Structure 1
C-alpha cells in the first residue's frame, strides 16, 4: 500500500495548480533525506519535476530546488544531464532577463556539469537572446549572463554567481579548458578566461571560490601557460605572445595584504601589484588562498613558467602570505610553491629560500604534482 509521501509524489503531475504547488513545496523538505522517494517507478518523479521547471514561478522554484538536492545521485544526475530538452529549457530561461528562478537554474546547471555528457554545451548553438548576447553559442551566452548579470545588473532577480561553479566543472574537461583559453574570433579575439578572472576579488564569496577553482582547472592545460601568463617573457630577446590573458595579477592580488616590500623585492613586480591601498586586505577564505597557490604551482610546470614567476617576484608575495596567514594548509601550499619556483634549473646552483624562518617548520623536501594529479572540487550544490 502506498505511503502518504508516495501519494504526494503522484500529485506532481496533477492538473490543479494549487495542488502541484502544495506537493512540490512539501516535497522540498524531503529531497535531502528521502532520495528513494524520487527514484520510484523508474525515476517517474524526476521526469515530472523536469516538466515542472516550466510551470508557474513558485512551482518551478520548488521543482528546481528538489532537482538540485537530488542530483547528488549518479542515476538522477545522468537523467538530468543527458536530457537535451531540459538543457534547452534551462538555457532559454536563464538567459531571460525576467526569469525569477535564474539563480536556481544556475545551481542546477552547475550540478549537471559534473556529468561528462554536459560537455556538449561547448558545441551547442541556439537562438540569440538579443538583450544579452550577440553570440549563437550557448557557452558565450552563459558567460554573458555571468559577466553582465553580476549583482542583478541584467536580471533583478538574480546574480548568476553559481555559474562560476559551472565554469569550474566544465574546466575539468580538456574541451572546457580549450574553450576558456582560446581567443574567440567572433568576439574580437577575447579569451573567455579573461571575462571571469576579474572576479577573484569580488564581494561574493561564491564568485571568488568558483572563479578560483575554474582558473586552477584551466591551469592544468600546460600548452596554454604562455597565454595565461600573458605578454610576460622570461627572455627579453623573445617577442611576447600576441594575445595574452594577463592572469597573474588576479591570482596574486588575493594573496597580498597591505604589507610593504623592500625595494629589491618590489622591483620587477607587476604594475597592478604595486602601490596598493594601505587598507588592502588579503583573501579571508583559506580555501580560496590555497586554490590560488595550487594554481601558481601548476603555472610553474616548465622552466619557462618558473622563469616568468621569478621575474615578476612571486616569491616575496608568497613569503608574506606564509608569514601572515596562520593556517597550516596555506603555509604548506606556500612552501610547495617556493620549493618549485626557486628550485635550481639545469646547469644552475640551487638556491631555495628557507621558509622555516617565516614559521614554516617544513622538512625542505621538494614536492611536485605528479602527471595527471588533480584536486578538483566535486561538491554538489545542496539548498534547503
Structure 2
C-alpha cells in the first residue's frame, strides 16, 4: 500500500547513466510517454520532481530530440504547461501555442516548487541544443510562456535560468559548425568564468533560507 513516490527520484538518479537513458528512450518501450502526465502530478512534489528530473536527464541525448519533440512523444507541452499561468494572450499569440496551452482557466497555477520549475526550464534548454530543436521550440510558442514566467518568477536563480533560455530563443543562430550547443568546445578561460559564476550563484542560493518541502528532490 506504499505510494512509491520515491521511485521518481530513484529513476532520476538512474537516468544520469547513459545505459538507463537508452532504456528510457527506447521507442518500443513507451516509457517516456507514460512519465509525461506525471509532470502535473499534484499529490506529491517528490514524485513530480523525480519525473521532471528524469525527463531533463533524457534531454541530454540530443540524438533523440527530434523524436521527443515530434508527434510520437510531443514532450514540449508537458514541460511548458507547469510553467504556464492564467495569462490572457491575444488571439494571434494564442494560435502559436500548442492546443493544450491555449485558453487556460483563470485559476491555472504554476508549478509551486522552484527547483522543479528550474528543472523544467533546463529540460527545454537542452532541447534547444540543436538547430531543429530550437526551431521547433520557437514554433510552438515557448517564448510566450517563458516571457510571462520571467515576469512572475520570484526566485532569482530560476529567473536567471529563464533569461538564459529566452536569450537562446530570441538570439541569433550560432555560426556554421557550432549549431549543436552540446558539442561546442568552450574555451578554457570562458569555462573558468562560467564556473565562477555558477559558484557565485550557488553561494547566493545557500544564503537564502530553505523553504519547507514535502521531501528531498533528486539531484
TM-score (norm 2): 0.77
Which sections of structure 2, spanning at least 5 residues, go unmatched? 176-180, 186-190, 192-197, 199-215
What is aligned with 1:280?
108
Does structure 1 conserve the Cα–Cα contact (< 8 Å) formed by 2:88 and 2:103? no
Deviations 1:2-61 (CA, angstroms, capped at 9, x unpaired): xxxxxxxxxxxxxxxxxxxxxxxxxxxxxxxxxxxxxxxxxxxxxxxxxxxxxxxxxxxx
Q: Find the partner of 1:215 among 30, 55, 79.
A: 55
Change beyond 3 A, Cα 1:296–1:320: same
Greater Rg by CA:
1
**What's the C-alpha RMSD, in Å, of the aligned pairs?**
2.2
Which sections of structure 1, spanning at least 5 residues, go unmatched? 1-156, 185-189, 232-243, 348-367, 376-380
What is aligned with 2:25?
181
Matches within 5 A, 1:187-206: 190-203=29-42, 204-206=44-46
Does structure 2 conserve the Cα–Cα contact (< 8 Å) formed by 1:164 and 1:211? yes
CA distance in 2, matches of 1:308, 1:248: 9
Q: Shift in Å at residue 341 of structure 1?
A: 1.9
Q: Shift in Å at residue 277 of structure 1?
A: 1.6
What is aligned with 1:326?
154
Q: Find the partner of 2:99 among 271, 276, 280.
A: 271
CA distance in 2, matches of 1:206, 1:249: 21
Deviations 1:125-180 (CA, angstroms, capped at 9, x unpaired): xxxxxxxxxxxxxxxxxxxxxxxxxxxxxxxx211111111211111111111111
Does structure 2 conserve the Cα–Cα contact (< 8 Å) formed by 1:181 and 1:227? no
Q: Shift in Å at residue 248 of structure 1?
A: 0.9
TM-score (norm 1): 0.45
Change beyond 3 A, Cα 1:162–1:268: same
* Higher-RCO chain (CA-CA 8 Å, sequence separation at least 6): 2
Q: Paired residues, what number?
A: 182
Q: Shift in Å at residue 313 of structure 1?
A: 0.6
